[in-house]
Structure 1
Amino acid sequence: MKVTIEHSFCPYSEEVTDLYFRIINTILFSTDEAELRESMRQLEEKTPLHEYFTYGYGAHHLWVCQRRPSDKTLVFKHRIMLVEF
């Protein structure tokens, strides 16, 4: 896995900061795409991940964006990280 931090994230609460580092650890501990997908699914089930972040998959990557604190239906303009697998 190759993780690229593309933009800074906004640490507007302890919970969002904790989730940010949990996302990074989830990515770094995953050995392949299947494990990454399963680990992200489990993280989503165990935490309020979608309250603070949104993510998706491309053919060979995972992208992560942060939701805005003022309106959580909106995301910041730039994605915060890209993971190539």
Structure 2
Amino acid sequence: MNVIIEHIFCQYSDEATALYLRIINVILMSSNEAELRASMEKLKHTSKLDEYFIYGFGKHHIWVCLRKPSDRNKIFEHRVLMAQF
């Protein structure tokens, strides 16, 4: 899978930056949609992924948005990355 960086990543914490890189690695190391879904679920349960990011799956892609540091219930307007499968 190829990661497409769609918008600038706001590096507001070291933990968010590390998770951003882990997300990219999870996507790149996944060979299919099922593996990607399982890997993202594992990352969600072994890290603070939900505190910094929101993600979802479309019919043929995954998208990732960054949560705002001032209010974690809000997200930045643009997706930071996506990958097609």
- What TM bracket, shorter-length normalisation? over 0.9
**Residue ranges of structure 2 left out of the alignment (5+ in a row):** none
Q: CA deviation at 1:2?
A: 2.1
Q: Secondary structure at the match of 1:25?
A: helix
SS in 1 for 2:83: strand
CA distance in 2, matches of 1:2, 1:13: 25
Q: Deviations over 1:6-51 (max 9, x none)?
A: 0011111110000000000011110110000000000000001000
1:12 aligned to 2:18? Answer: no
CA distance in 2, matches of 1:61, 1:24: 14
TM-score relative to the length of structure 2: 0.98
**Count of paired positions:** 85
RMSD, aligned α-carbons: 0.5
Q: Which residue of 2 aligns with 1:72?
A: 72
> What secondary structure, in the 3-state scheme, does the structure 2 residue paired with 1:40 have?
helix
Within 5 A, what are the aligned runs for 1:11-50? 11-50=11-50
Q: SS where residue 75 of structure 1 aligns?
A: coil
Structure 1 residues without counterparts, runs of 5 or longer: none
- Identical aligned pairs, as a percentage? 56
Q: How far did residue 67 of structure 1 move?
A: 0.1
**TM superposition shift of 1:3:** 1.4
Moved over 2 A (4+): none
Distance (Å, rounded) in 1 between the aligned partners of 2:17 and 2:81? 14
1:77 aligned partner, one-letter code: E
